[in-house]
Structure 1
Amino acid sequence: MAISLHTKRRIRRAVDKAALAVSVAVLLAPCLFVFFWMLSLSLKYDIDNTAWPPVFWPTEPTLENFAKVFEESPMFLYFWNSVQVTGSATLVALLLGVPAGYGIAKARAHKMAAVLLLSRMTPGLSYLIPLFTLFQVLGLIGTIWPIALTHMVITLPIVVWIMIGFFETQPHELEEAARIDGATLWQAFRYVALPLARPGIVVGAILAFISSWNNFIFGAVFAGRTTRTMPVAVYNMLTFESFAWGPLAAAAIIVMLPVIVLTIIIQKEIVQGLSAGGVK
């Protein structure tokens, strides 16, 4: 019996969805396995973490490793330091990056955009020596200020690059109509372009926040004992005598938790923003 065209299309859609699901599963499998294993380590006792053959999931999960992390280090202080650094770096990046992205997009300064992208691709280690010398002369080593300022090297290019794409997709006729009605360039940006770019601002803020929160190298070099950020706190769980896998995995889970929760809460905003910015 011949198969109808409608049935063939349904079968093709089902096959495409299945292929997409398999592809996504294959791509995410390494990340999910690492996260699962880290969660497993954080819920097991040391004897299970060092057992052979490995114990993949504890029969009696324990929160002892999480309690040990908070007992041996001031994690709340490190969390507050990360909030200050990441919050200030993201806020300043938005205040400077959104107008900069608008100016570059409207001026069609593609060379400047390429230079900006190049600065984002440059490894952070390239900035360490001159920045360390500068902050040492200013007497800021060991405070929050150098960490927050250096994190803008990460957050600002992200915001500008994303906003360039969003402002380029906006119809120029709306701003031209506002200018004809007597609005200044700043008013056209404030009342016309900026509200339309809300999805891009949300995406830029999220990506800047995640990049700043997870940054390790600047905090490890510029921070003092009381100004460490969360990734540096995880690094300090390592010792030369032995590896405490349970507390180390628990500390890593604590660092990841704010980013995971934030991503889950506003995942729709991320998808909508990236989709809107990708349409020309």
Structure 2
Amino acid sequence: MTVYKAKKAAGKIGLYALVLIVVLPILFPLYFVFISSLKNMSQVYIMPPQLFGFTPIWDHYKYIFETQHYDTYMINSAIVAFASTAISLILGVPASYSIARFHMRKTSTSILVARLLPSISFLLPYYFLFSKLKMIDTYSVLILSHIVLSLPLIVWIMSSFIADIPKELDEAAIVDGCTRQRCFWNVILPVSLPGLVTCATLSFLGSWNNFQFALILSGEKTRTLPVSLQYFVSGADIRWGRMLAATIVVIVPAIILTMALQKYIIKGMTAGAVKG
């Protein structure tokens, strides 16, 4: 029994060590960015960097919120991300149901091809089109451009997810008197909750972190958080403390959202991976 307990303890230690080896390279950069945002300018440039034992300050955070209007940038990012995600789900989930249930393979292939195209290929046509329509620096143009990025992703994920739901559920609902529309709303959507949460999270994060489209299509009124990071870089120097504080402001909401919904995201991403 003692030998068994020793082997079990050694196995746990080995597992924890393996987890630490995998997690440390991921968490250390986040820790380094956070502590650097709490240092004054002279401490930021100390080499080797001081990881512990310094007096934290919050001056950089006060600066970006009091003088750089970061509360406005957060509101802009939230409006664009929530609106583009909601509209993409409203359009994409019914389309996914049709593709999955009626075997629309050509449509599915076209959507996959659209998903694989580099997003920057849409940017130049968008700029010329919306500048002619005088829509640059509006929420609508940012929301529309982000929908074009997130909609193929949602259709791609949800069509595969719905395809794994047994058709017998649809047939039983139709036998009971449900129309196709009511079957979709009352039967398929509740079962598809993990997939919906996964798609919503990925769409929201993609919009929240988008830099290219926001850089070209936004302006003073609709500037989002990722775009604001570039203003801490000048020809003379880089204001590292302020930039790192702004970086924390950008990534913390994404981390909180992912951690809060990780149970549903894991279910959605692994649905259909194991079939008996």
Normalised by the size of structure 1, how large is the TM-score?
0.89
User: Which blocks of at least 5 consecutive residues in structure 2 are unaligned?
Assistant: none
Structure 1 counterpart of 2:70 = 75
Structure 2 counterpart of 1:178 = 173
Give me the whole-angstrom Cα distance separating, in 1, the residues matched to 2:9 and 2:113: 40
Q: 1:177 to 1:150 in 2, by over 3 A?
A: same
Alpha-carbon shift at residue 34 of structure 1 (Å):
1.4
2:47 aligned with 1:85: no
Give me the whole-angstrom Cα distance separating, in 2, the residues matched to 1:137 and 1:36: 45
User: Which blocks of at least 5 consecutive residues in structure 1 are unaligned?
Assistant: none
Code of the aligned partner of 2:105: H
Alpha-carbon shift at residue 102 of structure 1 (Å):
0.8
Structure 2 counterpart of 1:119 = 114
Task: Check the 8 A contact 1:44/1:58 in 2, yes or no.
Answer: no
Structure 2 counterpart of 1:161 = 156
Structure 2 counterpart of 1:220 = 215
Give me the whole-angstrom Cα distance separating, in 1, the residues matched to 2:22 and 2:115: 25
Q: 1:217 to 1:104 in 2, by over 3 A?
A: same
Alpha-carbon shift at residue 23 of structure 1 (Å):
4.9
Code of the aligned partner of 1:70: F
Deviations 1:70-89 (A, max 9, x none): 13311111111111100110
More divergent stretch after superposition (136-145 vs 50-59): 50-59
Q: 1:31 to 1:103 in 2, by over 3 A?
A: same
Give me the whole-angstrom Cα distance separating, in 2, the residues matched to 1:103 and 1:14: 52
Give me the whole-angstrom Cα distance separating, in 2, the residues matched to 1:62 and 1:230: 22
Task: Check the 8 A contact 2:197/2:261 in 1, yes or no.
Answer: no
Structure 2 counterpart of 1:102 = 97
Structure 1 counterpart of 2:40 = 45
Q: 1:99 to 1:80 in 2, by over 3 A?
A: same
Task: Check the 8 A contact 2:195/2:267 in 1, yes or no.
Answer: no
Q: 1:237 to 1:179 in 2, by over 3 A?
A: same
Give me the whole-angstrom Cα distance separating, in 1, the residues matched to 2:150 and 2:15: 32
Structure 2 counterpart of 1:235 = 230
Give me the whole-angstrom Cα distance separating, in 2, the residues matched to 1:48 and 1:242: 16
Alpha-carbon shift at residue 174 of structure 1 (Å):
1.3
Alpha-carbon shift at residue 42 of structure 1 (Å):
0.2
2:202 aligned with 1:207: yes
Normalised by the size of structure 2, how large is the TM-score?
0.90
Q: 1:246 to 1:159 in 2, by over 3 A?
A: same
Alpha-carbon shift at residue 20 of structure 1 (Å):
5.8
Deviations 1:176-214 (A, max 9, x none): 122223322112212111111111111111111111111
Deviations 1:33-79 (A, max 9, x none): 21111112101110011123322235101111111111331111111
Give me the whole-angstrom Cα distance separating, in 2, the residues matched to 1:169 and 1:13: 40
Q: 1:114 to 1:24 in 2, by over 3 A?
A: farther
Q: 1:122 to 1:190 in 2, by over 3 A?
A: same
Structure 1 counterpart of 2:28 = 33
RMSD of the alignment, in Å?
2.4
Secondary structure class of the residue paired with 1:236: helix
Code of the aligned partner of 1:276: A
Structure 1 counterpart of 2:124 = 129
Give me the whole-angstrom Cα distance separating, in 2, the residues matched to 1:224 and 1:72: 18
